[in-house]
């Protein structure tokens, strides 16, 4: 970590809204200096100003996680401004619908580029700094990282890949003192998740969802995993889904009646 007298430095991707905003805010209010990175510059500016108004030290950074040049610029900026990096949070992600057959090449490429390649590019750019600070990488996965669901083909594959990347990084950088963990939420009440659920027949989401997680709770998990208290934790997946990942719900797809129900009513989504 950065010298104890100094505030640790973090980059959070997809920080303009939703879970990324919750993580950036939680880290900033827990005395981190946070670069908030996102492709959506307008919203990013508004969100950064809101955290600054609460006393958080944050800076907005336009960044498309799929673009190596954007990462170079972001790391150069964080280095020039604050002189180091302690925490990288790979949160930016998209969750398009589609089966193995209905997913076309463009959708596959986009999902894998944002959800998987983006996290690798982030890690690749940040690791030279993280090795100096013995820092932390947090990847935001999903219950779907380990529990597939019909109709989320490219998403599930990308998030499972991100879990593999998490473990690979944990092992590859163990001796360098860099930790890498995954936070895997179930449903999180974000504006975009509401839109998505409404589009798929649940206009009242999140009403009735009993295992709803908030962006603040994901932020609290990130603060803990980034802290010295978690210094022996690496290569783990921390589910924030009230146990959905251990429930036997996925077995329901083998019941005959599940074929009669149209997706997505067939099985709950995360």
Ligand X SMILES: NC(=O)c1ccc[n+]([C@@H]2O[C@H](COP(=O)([O-])OP(=O)(O)OC[C@H]3O[C@@H](n4cnc5c(N)ncnc54)[C@H](O)[C@@H]3O)[C@@H](O)[C@H]2O)c1
Q: Is residue 224 among the annotated active site residues?
A: no
Secondary structure letter of residue 90 according to DSSP: E
Q: How far is CA 232 from the centre of its chain?
A: 21
Which residue lies nearer to ligand X by CB, 13 or 133? 13
In the numeric block, which tokens belong to residue 156?
Answer: 């599930």
Which residue lies nearer to ligand X by CB, 2 or 20? 20
Q: Where are the alpha helices (DSSP H) in the chain?
A: 18-29, 41-53, 68-82, 105-112, 118-133, 153-172, 191-199, 215-226
Examine residue 40 and tell whether it contacts ligand X (CB under 6 A): yes
In the numeric block, which tokens belong to residue 31?
Answer: 């005395």
Examine residue 18 and tell whether it contacts ligand X (CB under 6 A): yes
Identify whether the C-beta of residue 97 lies closer than 8 Å to the C-beta of residue 143.
no
Taking contact as CB under 6 A, which single stretch among the options 10-18, 80-88, 97-105, 173-181 is the one that binds ligand X? 10-18
Which residue lies nearer to ligand X by CB, 92 or 157? 92
CA dist 249 and 162 (Å) reads: 23
Q: Which of 30, 39, 78, 160 binds ligand X (CB under 6 A)?
A: 39
Examine residue 114 and tell whether it contacts ligand X (CB under 6 A): yes
Taking contact as CB under 6 A, which single stretch among the options 50-58, 123-131, 185-193, 224-232 is the one that binds ligand X? 185-193
In the shown chain, the binding pattern of residues 41 to 80 toward ligand X, with x for contact by CB under 6 A and - for none, equals: ----------------------xxxx--------------
Which residue lies nearer to ligand X by CB, 2 or 95? 95
Q: Which of 1, 8, 12, 13 binds ligand X (CB under 6 A)?
A: 13
Report the b/e string of 207-220 with b at 16+ CB within 10 A.
Answer: eebebbbebebbbb
Nearest to 140 by CA among 68, 67, 237, 51: 237
The bridge status of strand 9-13 relative to strand 87-90 is parallel
C-beta neighbour count of 179 within 10 angstroms: 25
Task: Give me the least distance between CB of 22 and ligand X, in Å please.
Answer: 8
Examine residue 193 and tell whether it contacts ligand X (CB under 6 A): yes
Examine residue 163 and tell whether it contacts ligand X (CB under 6 A): no
Residue with tokens 């504006």: 191
Handedness of CA 78, 79, 81, 86 (dihedral sign): positive
Which residue lies nearer to ligand X by CB, 42 or 257? 42
Task: Give me the least distance between CB of 27 and ligand X, in Å please.
Answer: 15
Task: Give me the least distance between CB of 165 and ligand X, in Å please.
Answer: 13
Residues that are catalytic: 155
Q: List interacting residues with ligand X (CB under 6 A).
A: 13-14, 16-20, 38-40, 63-66, 91-95, 114, 140, 142, 185, 187-188, 190, 192-193, 270
């Amino acid at each position: 970590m950065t010298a104890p007298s100094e505030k640790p430095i973090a980059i959070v991707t997809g920080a303009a809204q939703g879970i990324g905003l919750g993580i950036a805010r939680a880290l900033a209010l827990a005395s981190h200096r946070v670069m908030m990175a996102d492709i959506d510059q307008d919203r990013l500016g508004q969100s950064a100003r809101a955290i600054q108004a609460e006393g958080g030290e944050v800076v907005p950074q336009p960044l498309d996680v799929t673009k190596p040049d954007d990462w170079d610029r972001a790391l150069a900026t964080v280095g020039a401004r604050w002189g180091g990096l302690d925490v990288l949070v790979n949160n930016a992600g998209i969750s398009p619908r589609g089966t193995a057959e209905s997913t076309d090449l463009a959708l596959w490429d986009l999902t894998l580029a944002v959800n998987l390649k983006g996290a690798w590019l982030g890690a690749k750019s940040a690791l030279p700094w993280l090795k100096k600070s013995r820092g932390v990488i947090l990847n935001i996965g999903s219950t779907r990282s380990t529990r597939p669901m019909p109709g989320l083909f490219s998403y599930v594959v990308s998030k499972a890949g991100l879990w593999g990347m998490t473990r690979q990084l944990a092992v590859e950088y163990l001796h360098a003192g860099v930790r890498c963990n995954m936070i895997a939420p179930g449903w999180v009440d974000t504006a975009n998740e509401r839109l998505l659920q409404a589009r798929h027949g649940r206009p009242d989401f999140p009403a009735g969802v009993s295992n709803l997680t908030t962006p603040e709770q994901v932020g609290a998990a990130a603060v803990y995993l980034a802290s010295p208290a978690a210094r022996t934790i690496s290569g783990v997946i921390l589910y924030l889904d009230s146990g959905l990942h251990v429930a036997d719900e996925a077995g329901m797809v083998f019941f005959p009646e599940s074929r009669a129900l149209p997706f997505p009513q067939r099985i709950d989504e995360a």
